[in-house]
Amino acid sequence: MRSRPAPPRCLFLLLLPFLFFSSSAAHPQWILQRVPVVLPQNTEDRPAPHFIAPARLDVSSPCDPECHKRAPRQSYWDLRNLLAYETLHSNGRLTETAIGIYGYNPTSNTSPAYSSGSSGKAGRSHVRRKRQIFGHDGRFSIAGQNFLLKYPFSVAVKLSTGCSGTLVGDRHVLTAAHCVHDGKNYVKGAQKLRVGFLKLKHRDIQASFFHLPSNFTNHIEGGPALYAPPMNDKMKFQWIRAKRTHVPKGWIKGNANDIGMDYDYALLELKKPHKRRHMKLGVSPPAQRLPGQRVHFSGFDNDRPGQLVYRFCRAGEETSDLLYQHCDAQPGASGSGVYARMWDGRRRRWERKVIGVFSGHQWVERQGASQEFNVAVRITPLKYAQICYWIKGNFLDCREG
């Protein structure tokens, strides 16, 4: 029996706006909450790293959602140790900073509800499959300056170690910790880490013949819109060196097979401002409160060299620190900022916020059946307070997330 040919790519792009949850009616809103204060206390020098570890473009773990949910709740002192952090400076100097936590409410660091799922014990680790695509490949390669240089796609950047990242400040990039540190050592290239921004290769390229509505990307995530084909402009990366890299000790003390995956995030401070619009941080809401229960992220998957790849999918199970989903992704996409778009009642406008960091892939056995997940690290109130302080340097600007 002959199989049906796959629908043309343009058809998926034409249907793309209609696949999204029409959020204008339900008005899913960002709910601002008071977050704890995470302040640095004392900083000490550490021995300089050797940068001998090979860069890892993804992580894998046999610990499934139930495994993570059964992990004991961390005490106040545990959290202080996990949220302590190392800072790698561009001159090779390494420092470790102890932190204090103030105004912490243990119940604020957990999700009010978990998505239902079968329980079961994770099996032993298997060799990870090379592909991380679930069924039909639902990724979209973004092309043309009208897309690539337009928010929100313009906040996606590439790391010189091969991962992706997201602009979250005038000179700050959020990414995955495993992109710069393997849990034991800093990876090759971490000392001279660079961040790549897509830009036009030739300044004299004319504007695209096709007109894009000014709010086109809003329609993509919010409702119907006319599709305008992009022009395949020639793009290249412009690189900026990282000045400092912050990595939480929760990642360095642990590893991807246990609690360490909960802390697979890092923040890079660039040597100069990037002069682009950045995306705000947000405390990760329960998946059931997301518009259409969907998440979005864009990154530089290594099977599509030089291309920015966008995807969206329905969020699945969640723990207090991790969000499980089946967004199609390949190595290279890790470190991408997972975001949602909801209504900001205070400012009376729609707002996109980064609510997590795409980490990697999990292959587990549950009740004798194999299951696969792609995992993102959720931005909890404590993580929000820490990352925000790294960006702002002032806890007064980080009290609401």
- How many C-beta atoms lie closer than 10 Å to residue 262's C-beta? 24
Determine what percent of the chain is predicted with pLDDT higher than 90.
50
* Residue 203 pLDDT: 57
* Residue 1 pLDDT: 39
* Residue 221 pLDDT: 57
Find the catalytic residue in 60, 334, 336, 359: 334
Give mean pLDDT, residues 182-204: 87
Find the catalytic residue in 170, 258, 303, 344: 258
* Residue 366 pLDDT: 63
Find the catalytic residue in 68, 178, 246, 361: 178
Give mean pLDDT, residues 358-368: 72
* Residue 67 pLDDT: 77
Instruction: Give me the residue spans of the domains in the chain.
Output: 9-398
381 pLDDT above the threshold of 60: yes
121 pLDDT above the threshold of 50: no
321 pLDDT above the threshold of 70: yes
Closest by CA to 166, choosing from 197, 125, 144, is 197
CA dist., res. 160 & res. 181, Å (int): 13
For the domain spanning 9-398, the CATH number is: 2.40.10.120
Cα Rg for the chain, rounded, in angstroms?
Answer: 20
Q: What is the pTM of this model?
A: 0.82
In Å, what is the CA distance from 319 to each residue of 73, 101, 189, 284, 341?
12, 22, 33, 11, 21
* Full 3-state SS string of the chain: CCCCCCCCHHHHHHHHHHHCCCHHHHCCECCCCECCEEEEEEEEEECCCCCCECCCCCCEECCCHHHHHCCCCCCHHHHHHHHCEEEEECCCCEEEEEEEEECCCHHHHCCCCCCCCCCCCCCCCCCCCCCCCCCCCCCEEECCHHHHCCCCHHHEEEECCCCEEEECCCCEEEECHHHCECCCCEECCCCCCEEEEEEECCCCCCCCCCCCCCCHHHHHHHCCCCCCCCCCCCEEEEEEEEEEEEEEHHHHHCCCCCHHHHHCCEEEEECCCCCCCCCEECCCCCHHHCHHHEEEEEECCCCCCCCEEEEEEEEEEECCCEEEECCCCCCCCCCCEEEEEEEECCCCEEEEEEEEEEEEEEEEEECCEEEEEEEEEECCHHHHHHHHHHHHCCHHHHCEC
Decide which of 230 and 344 is more confident: 344
Most confident of 133-147, 159-173, 315-329: 159-173
Give the pLDDT band (50/70/90) at residue 148: confident
* Residue 10 pLDDT: 40
CA dist., res. 273 & res. 42, Å (int): 28
**What is the per-residue pLDDT across 232-265, written as a single tens digit (0 to 9) for each?**
567 889 999 999 999 999 999 765 555 678 999 9
387 pLDDT above the threshold of 50: yes
89 is catalytic: no
Decide which of 95 and 305 is more confident: 95
258 is catalytic: yes
* Residue 143 pLDDT: 78
Cβ(361)–Cβ(128) under 8 Å? yes
Give the pLDDT band (50/70/90) at residue 128: very low
